[in-house]
């Protein structure tokens, strides 16, 4: 197994372009010799500043969503093609905040994944259960369903450009992290789901992240789990020193 760790920050709706440049400039020396992949997921308006700030480094830049059409009458939307044209490499799709507040469904997430892959982007696909679903004992079913629908129509070759982030909704922004065992259990289940959809080789090479209150203090234990190949980090990604500790923990 030679999976590469990917540590990605999801800044959510934080930082203007000037602040984005400052944050990335602070981060650069701290992760200069990281052996894992490092990505920053920034608001749309910060993309030009972020792309400029990461020049000459190995830090990747992600958008936090994209529309599934290439262009057209979709006021307020941004297409995958537009992101690709400006040099963006990654897009976060299906985040629970998009699903909860902005009406994303498994079906629209599938369409966004399709468009992003067609445009040549790497997708960070988010899946995860609500607290009620965990308490009802349907975490496995929910996460497997989200994974299967989102990957509908994605080829084996394209899976090299799909990262999956397991983000239990109850752990996002709450300070309540999944235990390392809970995180690994669901990441493993996602890997088994991928094996079922494709084959063992695709599943073995798939990068599966954990996200949800991952921080400088708990990252090492989470990342030490055999099926956890990285992190999607919200709050702690806005603090360069903390984010750098998580990057180090992935090495």
- From candidates 87, 120, 173, 217, binder to ligand 13P by CB under 6 A: 173
Range in contact with ligand 13P (rule: CB under 6 A) among 15-23, 30-38, 142-150, 205-213: 205-213
Q: Other CB atoms closer than 10 Å to residue 86's CB: what's the count?
A: 11
Residue 128 interacts with ligand 13P (CB under 6 A)? Answer: no
Query: Which of 67, 95, 97, 129 is the catalytic position?
Result: 95
Q: Is 95 a catalytic residue?
A: yes
Terminal Cα distance for the chain, rounded:
15
- From candidates 211, 230, 243, 247, binder to ligand 13P by CB under 6 A: 211
- From candidates 233, 246, 247, 250, binder to ligand 13P by CB under 6 A: 233
- From candidates 60, 89, 94, 212, binder to ligand 13P by CB under 6 A: 212
Residue 213 interacts with ligand 13P (CB under 6 A)? Answer: yes
Cβ atoms of 230 and 242 closer than 8 Å: no
Nearest approach in angstroms of CB 238 to ligand 13P is: 9
Range in contact with ligand 13P (rule: CB under 6 A) among 54-62, 72-80, 180-188, 207-215: 207-215
- From candidates 20, 116, 117, 214, binder to ligand 13P by CB under 6 A: 214
Residue 121 interacts with ligand 13P (CB under 6 A)? Answer: no
Range in contact with ligand 13P (rule: CB under 6 A) among 18-26, 114-122, 143-151, 233-241: 233-241
Residue nearest to ligand 13P (CB): 234
Residue 42 interacts with ligand 13P (CB under 6 A)? Answer: no
Among 1, 3, 2, which residue's Cα sits nearest to residue 207?
3
Length of the chain as a residue count: 251
Residues that bind ligand 13P (CB under 6 A): 10, 95, 167, 172-173, 211-214, 232-236
Catalytic positions are 95, 167
């Amino acid at each position: 197994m030679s999976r590469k760790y990917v540590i990605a920050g999801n800044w959510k709706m934080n930082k203007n372009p000037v602040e984005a440049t400052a944050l990335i400039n602070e981060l650069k020396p701290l992760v200069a010799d990281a052996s894992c992949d490092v990505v920053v997921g920034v608001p749309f308006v910060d993309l030009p500043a972020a792309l400029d700030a990461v020049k000459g480094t190995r830090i990747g830049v992600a958008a936090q969503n994209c529309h599934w059409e290439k262009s057209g009458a979709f006021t307020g939307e941004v297409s995958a093609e537009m992101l690709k044209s400006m040099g963006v490499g990654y897009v976060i799709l299906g985040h629970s905040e998009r699903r909860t507040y902005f009406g994303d469904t498994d079906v629209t997430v599938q369409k966004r994944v399709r468009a992003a892959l067609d445009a040549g982007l790497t997708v960070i696909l988010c899946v995860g259960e609500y607290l009620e679903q965990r308490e009802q004992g349907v975490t496995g079913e929910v996460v497997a369903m989200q994974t299967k629908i989102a990957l509908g129509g994605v080829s084996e070759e394209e899976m090299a450009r799909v990262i999956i982030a397991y983000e239990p909704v109850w752990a996002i922004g709450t300070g309540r992290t999944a235990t390392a065992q809970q995180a690994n259990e669901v990441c493993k289940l996602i890997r088994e789901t991928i094996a079922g959809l494709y084959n063992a080789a695709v599943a073995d090479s798939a990068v599966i992240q954990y996200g949800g209150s991952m921080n400088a203090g708990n990252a090492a234990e989470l990342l030490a789990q055999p099926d956890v190949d990285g992190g999607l980090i919200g709050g702690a990604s806005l603090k360069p020193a903390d984010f750098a500790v998580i990057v180090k923990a992935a090495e």
